[in-house]
Structure 1
Amino acid sequence: MSNKTCLNCGHFLSGEFCAHCGQKADTTRITVNSLIKNDILGSIWHVEAKFFKALKDILFRSGKTAMDYISGKRIRYNNFISLLLILFGFNVLSYHYYEQFAPAQVLSDDVSDVKDFFSKYSKVILFVIIPMLAINGYLIFKRLKFNIAEHFIIATVSLLGILILFLLSDIVSLIGLWKPISKIFNFIDKIIFGLSILFPAITFWNAFKKSYSKPGLLWRVLTLYVLMGIESFVIFAALYQLY
């Protein structure tokens, strides 16, 4: 039996990591080789690989990703709230560049007001989706006995998927500014926009497809969208009055 102790907390080691503080057991002296290999390249690869894997899982298996996270399989993913903030930042940046390079448009006063309204309240509009989805999901899928916090995770994954698609849409729109390929990329942009609207439905369907019959799941998802539509209208109307 090894009597090696953790150099961080002094507890005895029985594996690759300290069971008390989580530090790696192989904390040998730092050399130029270990600094480049482990601390610099290793850290960058670990963060990037984890980040892009999380994005891929959210985009292509959103419901399964949410259910995995709820069931305790969390080490493979970045914190979802941190991902939200990162993706929202990327969306703001990509939209800024699109507006900068897009041809100037002459808009009517009404259209300009609506555009300014959504620009001003974009954060509120996006992040209010999470509690709306969570509460509605909790009420509609109550038989499954998930608590409100667990539905919050499903809603967060839904919004993450929407933000990923919005980011892709901005990138496609930027490429589509080149006129020889603009028609193709405008068509792709419309498909991505449609998927962003459907993404919560895809997430809930993927998460609960083994728990309900297809007709049962279909009417629940449709009910979810009806409630979301009514609530969104009320919230937008209230915000527009403030605006």
Structure 2
Amino acid sequence: MNQKSCLNCGHSVSDEFCPHCGQKTDTARITPKSIIKNDILGSIWHVEARFFNTLKDIIFRPGKTAMDYIAGKRIRYNNFIPLLLVLFSFNVLGLHYYEKFAPPEVLADDSGIKDFLSRYSKAILFIIIPMLAVNAYFLFRRINLNIAEHFIIGTVSLLGILTLFLLDDIVSLISLWKPVSKIFNIIDKALFAVSVLFPALTYWNAFKSSYTIPGLTWRIIVLYILMVSESAVIGLILYEIF
């Protein structure tokens, strides 16, 4: 086997990456072509491909994605916490531009929900995941996951919701274009319905091989009852405080 030394740390290497520092062994002379191909286009493609692969897996197989991540299969995914903040920022921007371009009568119809989300969005973001994690920890004890691992599943669930909300923001902006507003109004309602059901889809996808259909069904129903009850209590507390 051909052995050579890593140009960064001097460690003996025989593969594509140094096992000691992680640098690629292919460190040829830098040229204008290599900068464009590898450093610029390669980096952009790697970041974008990983980002969209992560979102795709979260939308179409959220529970499996969370369980793979917990099991250590993480190289194909963006870190979930920074991704959560990115999607949250995109949602804030989407809401901002919707409020900027929507006519006053449309904003008047949405004012209660929009105002609540804009005022308490950060609280909602940081409350949903712990609520999901704690409730699921007690409801799905057979899986033998710790609270931090349930936190990951809750994070994936919220990532899916934020992705759907972002698509909904885009659809809402497009729906301001009157000739196609009816079509996009239907899509808007469908996206909202899926976002409400997304935690159920996440836990079903994650645990469907570990429980019977009735056993998984009643646990998910109880999870929703707990989430709605706890959210109502938190909403009342926020209302009283502010």
Q: Same fold (TM over 0.5)?
A: yes
Does residue 57 of structure 2 align to residue 57 of structure 1?
yes
TM-superposed deviation, 1:118: 3.1
Quick one: which amino acid aligns to residue 38 of structure 1? Answer: N
Equivalent residue pairs, number: 241
1:175 corresponds to which residue? 174
SS of residue paired to 2:5: coil
- Whole-Å separation in 1 of the counterparts to 2:34 and 2:51: 24
| Structure 2 residue 10 is the aligned partner of structure 1 residue 38 | no
Aligned equivalent of 1:15: 15
Residues 102-148 of structure 1: per-residue CA shift (max 9 Å, x gap): 0013749xx85664343211111122100000111101001110011
2:234 corresponds to: 235
Q: Does 97-106 or 75-84 show the bigger shift?
A: 97-106
- What does residue range 76-225 of structure 1 map to in structure 2 within 5 Å? 76-105=76-105, 107=108, 115-225=114-224
**Which 10-residue stretch deviates more, 111-120 or 154-163?**
111-120
Residue 26 of structure 1: aligned partner: 26
Q: Distance in 1 between matches of 2:113 and 2:56?
A: 33
Could you tell me how far apart the structure 2 residues matched to 1:64 and 1:114 are? 32
Distance 1:156 1:47 in 2: 20
Q: Deviations over 1:1-20 (max 9, x none)?
A: 33311111110002110101
Structure 1 unaligned segments of length 5 or more: list them: none
Identity of aligned residues (%): 69
Instruction: Report if the CA contact (8 A) 1:209-1:217 is conserved.
Output: yes
Unaligned runs of 5+ residues in structure 2 are none
2:13 partner SS: coil
Cα distance, 1:165–1:235 mapped onto 2, change above 3 Å: same
Distance in 2, matches of 1:87 and 1:185, equals 22
Q: Which region of structure 1 is more displaced relative to structure 2, 142-151 or 97-106?
A: 97-106
CA contact under 8 A between 1:117 and 1:240: conserved in structure 2? no
Q: Partners in 1 of 2:44 and 2:117 — Cα distance?
A: 36
Asked if the contact 1:63/1:202 (under 8 Å) is kept, the reply is yes
Q: d(CA) in 1 for partners of 2:112 and 2:197?
A: 27
More displaced, 196-205 or 20-29?
20-29
What is the identity, as a one-letter code, of the residue corresponding to 1:56? K
Q: State the AA in 2 paired with 1:59.
A: I
Sort the Cα spacing of 1:186 and 1:113 in 2 relative to 1 into closer, same or farther, 3 A.
closer
- In structure 1, give the amino acid aligned to 2:24: K
TM-score, scaled to structure 2: 0.96
1:172-206 CA distances to partner (integer Å, 9 max, x unpaired)? 11111111111111111011001000000000000
Displacement after TM superposition at 1:234 (Å): 0.7
Structure 2 letter corresponding to 1:51: F
SS in 1 for 2:12: coil
Structure 1 moving runs of 4+ over 2 Å: 105-108, 111-118
Farther off after superposition, 200-209 or 116-125: 116-125
Which amino acid counterpart does residue 17 of structure 2 have in structure 1?
A: F
Q: State the distance in 2 between where 1:206 and 1:14 align.
A: 40
RMSD: 1.5
